[in-house]
A and B are shown apart, each in its own frame.
Chain A
């Protein structure tokens, strides 16, 4: 086959092409190849790789056992003596959570699950954990890996990523997981049989899956530059883009999937399902949003906001319209203040039945339990670091990372409910790099 002028030009272009960051890739590859070659030379050609793999697997299993905390430590052991009377408190019932279900807790030391009966377990050295919709698994980040865990800490599967993984979020049908890696948004199939990059240049806010709708396909919203994009992932197909605005810290879909709520540092915006802006409400001067949580019914949005410098914080409640009345609902009305106090707020999540809001207060080493329907009834549990970190040294307890409530799960979801049995929502424990 003789080469024509076009083919010669094509050949030249192909030879000129260089993959992105080719020099770095070559350096990384040589490090890996050199190590593998050195290992081969050290072990010798007759080494039995199967046996070595078995030994490595055994060592890994032993290491996993060592880092896992013993199951069955009871909340009842600690809750009685950690309840504080400052501020005005009501002791929680010992041995149980303040609402039915299981609570996911995240901290820089790794996620924990607190069971309905009060037992707690650390899952390992992971970041940014999130429930699967049915509560059977937890997705979490470990360096450049996305890991699916069973609630007892066993690793179901591991998916490598090109860079550090953050903010995984499971789709409502359980078949997809969206996560960020080096500023790109990736989708993994829920059983780890496939994965693909959905978009580049994605902002730090966690992606938000639209609750299941009659139309086929799963839809995710994510921040990109100054806009939020709404994309059907399997096409993929861009369904909508919002007008430009401040970068959101957190994104939420209402339970009916008709409204998308974006919480940024200075305002709350509500959009339609295709990105049309419906409402916008700025926070009061001097306040800066640091977190938020939307209840399972999608009607009550609580925003945590701090005064400049984090010397004081408030919890602001925005009431959204009930499902089916999207056009009139939103964050247009002024919020009501649920709580105001000293220090910062880190992590807040609603119980699945919507009766209790759990709020982390690291400066006081407390979790607040708010019951907005019970005229704002407030309880506080202190000594949170001690409970999760263990140990007897007061200094060690004070320096331990603060565990933040990050999501709740029904032990048994209501029949014919249709909505996910678990919630996820806390911002990542460590802000992503982009």
Chain B
């Protein structure tokens, strides 16, 4: 971090490579939109660069970046909650491009959660923060985090249960 603050390209690249993948993946799992996830993660890095001089080196970079990513992803998802894409599949000659590259089942199950619940799941089970850390990141009570996680996991368990019919 010190070298990146001093202007080192190599240090900045190392910082980017370490953190990009998880930031991008977290954004994607919350917004379910590749373009938006890319924009959100990229914007978070640009915000980091803008604030690089003010950054306290005694604190870890990851949580600070993840906080920006998750909050922006939640905002983006809320804004479009009432305007989901057409659910009807497109013609077979134009297959969806995403189906080959990600775990469709889990991402589809996540999509039934509201953005706050998705964010809680991503922070807990992808980025591996404790409920207390999530509470601090999102500036919400720990009890709220626990209840979001509990409800989200209950719903996911139903969605991912083998042999169960899809909800109508």
Is the CB–CB distance between A17 and B29 below 8 Å?
yes
Per the 8 Å Cβ criterion, residues 22-38 of B in contact with A are 24-25, 28-29, 33-35, 37-38
Partner of A14, one of B90, B126, B130: B126
Q: Which of B56-64, B66-74, B81-89 lies on the face that meets chain A?
A: B81-89
Is the CB–CB distance between B92 and A25 below 8 Å?
no
B95 CB, min distance to chain A CBs, angstroms: 8
Docked complex Cα distance between A33 and B12 (Å):
9
Is the CB–CB distance between A29 and B20 below 8 Å?
yes
Per the 8 Å Cβ criterion, residues 1-20 of B in contact with A are 4, 7, 9, 12-13, 16, 20
Chain A residue contacts of B146, Cβ below 8 A: 1
Q: Which of A17, A30, A241 counts the most chain B CB atoms within 10 A?
A: A17
B46 at the interface (CB under 8 A from A): yes
Known: A19-B34, A32-B46. A199 touches B90 (CB 8 A): yes
Bitwise interface map of A from 13 to 48 toward B, beta carbon under 8 Å scored 1, else 0: 111111111100110111011101110110001000
Is the CB–CB distance between B25 and A18 below 8 Å?
yes
Is the CB–CB distance between B85 and A194 below 8 Å?
no
A199 CB, min distance to chain B CBs, angstroms: 5
Q: Using a Cβ–Cβ cut-off of 8 Å, how many residues does chain B contribute to the interface with A? A: 61
Is the CB–CB distance between B46 and A33 below 8 Å?
yes
Chain B residue contacts of A136, Cβ below 8 A: none
Is the CB–CB distance between B24 and A22 below 8 Å?
yes
Known: A13-B106, A201-B96. A7 touches B125 (CB 8 A): yes
B138 at the interface (CB under 8 A from A): no
Known: A6-B157, A162-B35, A196-B80. A29 touches B45 (CB 8 A): yes
Is the CB–CB distance between B38 and A14 below 8 Å?
no
Is the CB–CB distance between A38 and B94 below 8 Å?
no
B127 CB, min distance to chain A CBs, angstroms: 9
Known: A10-B125, A25-B38. A238 touches B88 (CB 8 A): yes
A56 CB, min distance to chain B CBs, angstroms: 15
Please report whether the interface of chain B is mostly helix, strand, loop or mixed according to DSSP: helix
Is the CB–CB distance between A14 and B122 below 8 Å?
yes
Is the CB–CB distance between B91 and A17 below 8 Å?
no
Known: A17-B25, A17-B103, A30-B13. A225 touches B94 (CB 8 A): yes
Partner of B98, one of A20, A45, A226: A20
A85 at the interface (CB under 8 A from B): no
Docked complex Cα distance between A344 and B92 (Å):
35
Q: Which of A20, A32, A227 counts the most chain B CB atoms within 10 A?
A: A20
Docked complex Cα distance between A30 and B46 (Å):
10
Docked complex Cα distance between A399 and B149 (Å):
65
Is the CB–CB distance between A225 and B93 below 8 Å?
yes
Q: Which of B107, B125, B128 counts the most chain A CB atoms within 10 A?
A: B125
A197 at the interface (CB under 8 A from B): yes
Docked complex Cα distance between A22 and B94 (Å):
21
Is the CB–CB distance between A20 and B52 below 8 Å?
no
A200 at the interface (CB under 8 A from B): yes
Is the CB–CB distance between B25 and A41 below 8 Å?
no
A236 at the interface (CB under 8 A from B): yes
A336 at the interface (CB under 8 A from B): no
A422 at the interface (CB under 8 A from B): no
Known: A38-B9, A201-B96. A20 touches B34 (CB 8 A): yes
Docked complex Cα distance between A36 and B44 (Å):
12
A231 at the interface (CB under 8 A from B): yes
Known: A11-B125, A19-B34, A40-B52. A26 touches B102 (CB 8 A): no
Partner of B45, one of A11, A33, A40, A236: A33
Known: A34-B12, A41-B7. A15 touches B42 (CB 8 A): no
Q: Which of B12, B84, B156 counts the most chain A CB atoms within 10 A?
A: B12
Docked complex Cα distance between A234 and B84 (Å):
8
Closest to A37 in B: B12
A183 at the interface (CB under 8 A from B): yes
Docked complex Cα distance between A234 and B33 (Å):
18
Is the CB–CB distance between A10 and B106 below 8 Å?
yes
A368 at the interface (CB under 8 A from B): no
Is the CB–CB distance between A37 and B9 below 8 Å?
yes
A316 at the interface (CB under 8 A from B): no
Known: A1-B146, A19-B34, A36-B49. A13 touches B103 (CB 8 A): yes
Give 15 pairs: A residue, B residue, CB < 8 Å, sorted on A. Answer: A13-B105, A14-B25, A14-B29, A17-B28, A18-B102, A19-B25, A19-B34, A19-B101, A20-B101, A183-B94, A194-B79, A196-B80, A200-B90, A201-B90, A229-B86
Q: Contacts A17-B102, A20-B34, A194-B79 given; 14 further ones with Cβ under 8 A? A: A17-B25, A17-B103, A28-B38, A29-B24, A29-B41, A49-B50, A198-B85, A200-B97, A201-B96, A224-B91, A224-B94, A225-B93, A236-B85, A238-B86
Using a CB–CB cutoff of 8 Å, the interface residues on chain A facing chain B are 1, 6-7, 10-11, 13-22, 25-26, 28-30, 32-34, 36-38, 40-41, 45, 49, 162, 183, 187, 194, 196-201, 224-227, 229, 231, 234, 236, 238, 241
